[in-house]
Amino acid sequence: MLKNKEAAKEATEKAGFPILIVDDDVELALNLHDILEEEGYSVTVARDGQSALEICAKMDFPLAFVDIKLPDIDGVALVEKLGGCCQSLEAILITGYASIDTAIAAVRQNKIIAYETKPLNFGFLLSFVRQVYERKRTEEVLRQSEARLRLVLDQIPCVLWTTDANLAIVSSLGAGLVGLGWEPGDFVGQTVEQFFKTKDPDFPPVLAHHRALQDMPSTYEVLIRGRIFFGYVEPLKEKGKIIGVVGIAIDITERKRAEEEHEALSRRLVQIQEDERRTIARELHDQIGQSLTALKILLNRMASPAGKAVLEEAQGLVSELMTQVRNMSLDLRPSMLDDLGLLPTLLWHFERYAAATQIQVNFRHSGLDRLFPGDVTTSAYRVVQEALTNVARHAKVKEVTVRAWADSETLSLNIEDSGAGFDSSTVNFGLCGGLNGMRERAILVKGQLSVQSAPGAGTRIMAEFPISKHSGGRKESGP
C-alpha cells in the first residue's frame, strides 16, 4: 500500500516536470517523446525555433532537448532565447554534426548542461534526465523550505544572524530588523563588538557570542532602540568544527511591559495591604484599646461587696480582650517594624513565637544593625513570619534555625528545620498560598526565593533581596 502511494506521488511529480523537445528530425523527436512519456514525464515537441519560443511563452520548462541545427535558428542561440522565457530552463544540446567549435559554444552557454551526439544513447539519456529531475525536485523542496522559513521570519518580530569565527556578521534577516528601521545585510562585515558599539568583553551579548565559540550556547537580554530583545546564540558547526556563531533574537518588549505592569500592580496591592494593616493595627491600639482600658477603669470604680465576683470576672474578660486586641494589632503590622527596623522586630517576633509554639528559634545574624529600604524590610519580615508559621503547622520540630546577613548590596535569609519535609520538586507554587506569597514578596522587590525539601529531611527556605541603590536597568545598545 505504501509503495503504491509513493509510486502515485512520483508519477504526479513527474507529470509536473515538463520537458521540451526541439528537433526537426521527426523520427528522433517522436522516439524520444515516447520514451520520456513512458517514464511518466510530460513532453512537448516543437519542430523549429519559432514554435519553441511560442510554446515557452505559455509554459515553463525546466528541461529541453535542443537540436543544434534547426531550420530557422542555431540551437545555441535558441537556448539563450528560451532561457529568457523560462528562467529555470536547462538544456541538453543534441547534434549529428559535432565539432570543436559547437562544443565550445555549448560550454559557454550556462543554460546548456550536456552535449550529446547522434545516434542518441536513450538509456544514458533517461538516466541523465532522472538525475536532472531529482536535482530539480530537491532544489524546489529546498526553495519552498527557504520560502517558508523566510515567511515565518518575516512574520515573527525576530532577527536571525550568523557570524564567522572572528565574530564578524556574515548574514542577518528577520522582521525584527525592519521593525528597527534596518534592512537584511546592513551589518554584514561588522563584528559583534562594532554592532553593539562596545569594547567591553563582559557586555552580555558579546560575552554570549564568545561563549558560543567555545561550544557553550548562551542567552542574554539587550535593549536596542527602545526595544527589548531576548537573544540565544550557539556554535555554528561544519563537519564538527566550529566555524562561527548562529543566533536568534526575539522582540519581547510587549511581554516585558506586561510583566512590569503586573509587578507594579502587585507591588501596589501589597502596599495597600500593608497600609491597611498599619491603619487597622493603629485603630485597634489607639481606639479600641483605649476604649477597653477606659471600660476596665470604670469597672474598677464600680467594685462593691455584692458585685465583687461578677466585676472580677468582667475585669478578667476585659483584660483578656485587651490582650487579644493587642496581639491582633501586632500580628497585622508591628509598629516597631517602621520605628526600629528589621532586627529588633525579628527578635521580638522570635520571642513571641517561641512562647506561643514552644519552638525555639536559633537566630544568627550579621550586618542587620541598620535600616533597610521599607519595602525590603517588610518583605523580609513577612517571609520569615510565613516560614515560621509553616514550621509550626507542618514540621513537627522543637527548634528552627534562622540566619540573616547583609552586605552593601544584598540582604539574605535562610530558614531551616529538620522536620517532616516534603517533595519540593513536585510543589506547584501557585497552589501553595504560603510558599507562593513568600515568593511573590521576594519577586516584587526584585529578589528571589527558593525552597529545598524532601520527605523526612526537613526544609530550607532561602531568599535574597537587593538593597543597593542602583536599579540594575538595561543599557541601551547598538546603532
Distance CA 198, CA 204 (A): 11
Confidence at residue 471, expressed as pLDDT on a 0 to 100 scale: 41
Average pLDDT for residues 456-472, to the nearest whole number?
A: 79
pLDDT at position 335 is 73
Give the per-residue pLDDT at 24. 86
Q: What was the pLDDT predicted at 165?
A: 92
How far is CA 446 from each of CA 263, 264, 370, 420, rounded to the nearest angstrom?
10, 11, 20, 31
Helix (H, G, I), strand (E, B) or coil at 464: strand
Read off φ and ψ for residue 407, nearest 5 degrees.
-120, -160
Cell output for 248: 536568534
Query: Taking Cα atoms as reference points, which of 351, 418, 416 lies closest to residue 387?
Result: 416
C-alpha cell at 452: 529545598
With residues binned 3-state (H G I as helix, E B as strand, rest as coil), the percentages for the chain, rounded to 5, are 50, 25, 25
Cis upstream peptide for 119 (omega within 30°): yes
For the cut 90, the answer to whether the pLDDT of residue 139 exceeds it is no
**Residue 279 pLDDT:** 65
pLDDT > 70: percent of the chain: 75
Distance between CA atoms of residues 442 and 380, nearest Å: 8
For 301-384, where are the E strands, in sequence order?
A: 360-366
* Dihedral sign from CA coordinates of 123, 127, 133, 136: negative
* Confidence at residue 473, expressed as pLDDT on a 0 to 100 scale: 45
Question: How many other CB atoms sit within 10 Å of the CB of residue 257?
Answer: 11
Residue 214 per-residue DSSP state: T
What tens digit of pLDDT does each residue of 179-221 get? Answer: 778 887 788 889 999 988 988 989 999 999 999 999 999 999 9
**Chain centroid offset of residue 116 CA:** 56
Question: Residue 355 and residue 384: Cα distance in Å, rounded?
Answer: 17
At residue 460 the predicted structure's pLDDT band, cuts being 50, 70 and 90, is very high
Q: How many CB atoms lie within 10 A of CB 5?
A: 9
pLDDT digit string, tens, across residues 270-328 = 676 666 666 666 666 665 666 666 666 656 666 556 566 656 666 666 666 666 666 66
**Would the pLDDT of 390 be above 70?**
yes
Coil, strand or helix: which one is 221?
A: strand
| Choice between 474 and 448, residue whose per-residue pLDDT is larger | 448
Please give the average per-residue pLDDT across 17-37, as a whole number: 87
What confidence category does residue 470 fall into, taking pLDDT thresholds of 50, 70 and 90? very low
Q: What is the mean pLDDT of the segment spanning 256-267?
A: 72
Which pLDDT value is given to residue 286? 61
Strand duo 241-251 + 227-238: pairing: antiparallel
- Look at residue 479 in the predicted model and tell me its pLDDT: 54
pLDDT in tens, 69-101: 889 888 888 888 888 888 888 888 888 766 666
Question: What value does the mean pLDDT of the chain take?
Answer: 81
What pLDDT was estimated at residue 296?
67
pTM attached to this predicted model? 0.43
